[in-house]
């Protein structure tokens, strides 16, 4: 019995080696999470940490040793203030039908066991959390923290990167507004947000945008153009913040009219969007379509009277604000406590008011879109079409 007990304790010590990964789009606050997880694990549990580059692509690699980044107390000093992620990233989906058939899930588990790793802790959005849940269902312990400037994961009020992106995005949008006023122009600022409009909503509100479009509220172009025309004629300038996933019916009469007049719009709509490893379309370009729609409908002589700014990836690689550093540190502590202190797997940590607590993966993976009432959204500047219907642009 004593020998058995000693063997169990020895295995317990030997298996306190944790792999850290960061998947999906990079954003501010990830490195603070990594640093916090390492410090907590080393100090409280005597754990060893190793970072794996390129998330699940790195975990599945035939030469996984080439993707390893040893992480100890000294190596994470000052890491909180660094932008992006030191572990790089990928959108590789090891659990797609073709990759499962190719044996990638088994390759990941074999690599982890070969390295003596007993658990995976990481950051990610919907797709990375989904992969972590599938790895966990195969018996390998995982915990995750949410990160995305889109703020579109459930089970948390806010995700890593969102607050920094809002602050910089609002500043950028305000600067375009000032320029539009000086030159008596229309300004359109495009931001990310494929299915959720949180980023466009908060950047628009914080920058004082005249109109905001979000994926959750389909747009009737005739009504939008009428509203922009009214603002432009009364003040001489107008400012719009639009989400990349803004929903417009392909059969919208105004869009069809613009298709006949504009080679650019025709080319944009005829081009089939590429899809990532999880089947999500890679969007972008709605501001260029709206620019030409507005010029035609408002009867403007020059396209230069409407300026567009696509913030896109600009908001991902920013140096994190204090809010995201603090959130990353708190997420790192809780994620490690769950796995090493409580022996619990299959959870995402999130913030709920003033608390950081965990939710099961299935809760985190529920869609999180802007679900406020139209009356409130209109007061904030969101454009609401009277019809309230529409289909995603072709």
- Assess contact for 119 and 339: CB atoms under 8 A: yes
The stretches of the chain forming alpha helices (DSSP H) are 2-14, 30-45, 55-59, 97-101, 104-114, 126-137, 162-183, 198-207, 221-235, 253-261, 263-270, 286-298, 322-336, 361-364, 374-380
Q: What are the backbone dihedrals phi and psi of residue 253, each rounded to the nearest 5 degrees, phi first? A: -55, -40
> Which residues sit opposite 123 in a β-bridge?
22, 145
Residue 1 tokens, joined: 């019995």
d(Cα 81, Cα 77) in Å, to the nearest integer? 10
Nearest to 92 by CA among 365, 281, 277: 277
Instruction: Indicate which residue of 4, 72, 127, 150 is catalytic.
Output: 150
Q: What are the backbone dihedrals phi and psi of residue 97, each rounded to the nearest 5 degrees, phi first? A: -55, -45
d(Cα 226, Cα 101) in Å, to the nearest integer? 53
- Assess contact for 157 and 350: CB atoms under 8 A: yes
Residue 335 Ramachandran class (φ > 0 left, ψ -120 to 50 alpha, else beta): alpha
**Radius of gyration for the chain, computed over Cα atoms and rounded to the nearest angstrom:** 24
- Assess contact for 169 and 199: CB atoms under 8 A: yes
- Assess contact for 246 and 214: CB atoms under 8 A: yes
Handedness of CA 252, 257, 260, 265 (dihedral sign): negative
- Assess contact for 232 and 203: CB atoms under 8 A: no
Residue 150 falls in the annotated catalytic set: yes
Please classify residue 18 by burial: count the beta carbons closer than 10 Å to its beta carbon, then call 0-12 exposed, 13-18 middle and 19+ buried. Answer: buried
Q: What is the helix (H) or strand (E) element at residue 295, kind and residue range?
A: helix 286-298
d(Cα 91, Cα 77) in Å, to the nearest integer? 28
Which residues are known to be catalytic? 150
């Amino acid at each position: 019995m004593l020998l058995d007990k000693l063997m169990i304790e020895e295995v317990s010590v030997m298996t306190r080696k944790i792999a850290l990964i960061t998947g999906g789009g990079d954003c501010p606050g990830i490195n603070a999470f990594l640093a916090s997880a390492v410090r907590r694990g080393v100090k409280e549990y005597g754990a060893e940490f190793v970072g794996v580059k390129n998330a699940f692509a790195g975990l599945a690699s035939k030469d996984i040793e080439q993707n390893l980044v040893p992480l100890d107390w000294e190596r994470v000093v000052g890491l909180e203030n660094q932008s992006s992620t030191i572990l790089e990233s990928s959108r590789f989906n090891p659990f797609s039908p073709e990759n499962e058939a190719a044996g990638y899930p088994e390759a990941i588990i074999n690599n982890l066991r070969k390295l003596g790793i007993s658990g995976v802790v990481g950051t990610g959005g919907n797709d990375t959390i989904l992969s972590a849940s599938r790895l966990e269902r195969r018996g390998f312990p995982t915990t995750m923290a949410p990160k995305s400037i889109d703020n579109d994961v459930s089970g948390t009020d806010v995700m890593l990167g969102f607050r920094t992106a809002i602050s910089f995005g609002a500043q950028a949008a305000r600067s375009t507004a000032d320029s539009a006023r000086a030159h008596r122009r229309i300004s359109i600022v495009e931001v990310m947000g494929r299915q959720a409009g949180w980023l466009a909503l908060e950047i628009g509100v914080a920058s004082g945008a005249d109109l905001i479009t979000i994926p959750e509220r389909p747009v009737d172009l005739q009504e939008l153009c009428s509203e922009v025309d009214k603002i432009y004629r009364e003040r001489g300038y107008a400012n719009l913040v639009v989400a990349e996933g803004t929903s417009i019916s392909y059969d919208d009469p105004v869009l069809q009219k613009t298709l006949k007049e504009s080679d650019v719009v025709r080319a944009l709509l005829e081009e089939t969007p590429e899809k990532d490893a999880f089947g999500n379309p890679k969007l972008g370009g709605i501001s260029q379509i709206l620019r030409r729609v507005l010029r035609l409908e408002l009867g403007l002589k020059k396209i230069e009277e409407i300026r567009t700014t696509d913030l896109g990836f600009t908001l991902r690689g920013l140096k994190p604000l204090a809010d995201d550093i603090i959130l990353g540190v708190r997420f790192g502590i809780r994620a490690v406590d769950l796995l090493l202190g409580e022996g619990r797997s299959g959870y995402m940590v999130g913030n709920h008011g003033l608390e950081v607590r965990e939710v099961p993966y299935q809760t985190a993976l529920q869609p999180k879109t802007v679900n406020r009432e139209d009356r409130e959204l209109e007061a904030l500047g969101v454009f609401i079409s009277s019809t309230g219907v529409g289909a995603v642009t072709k």
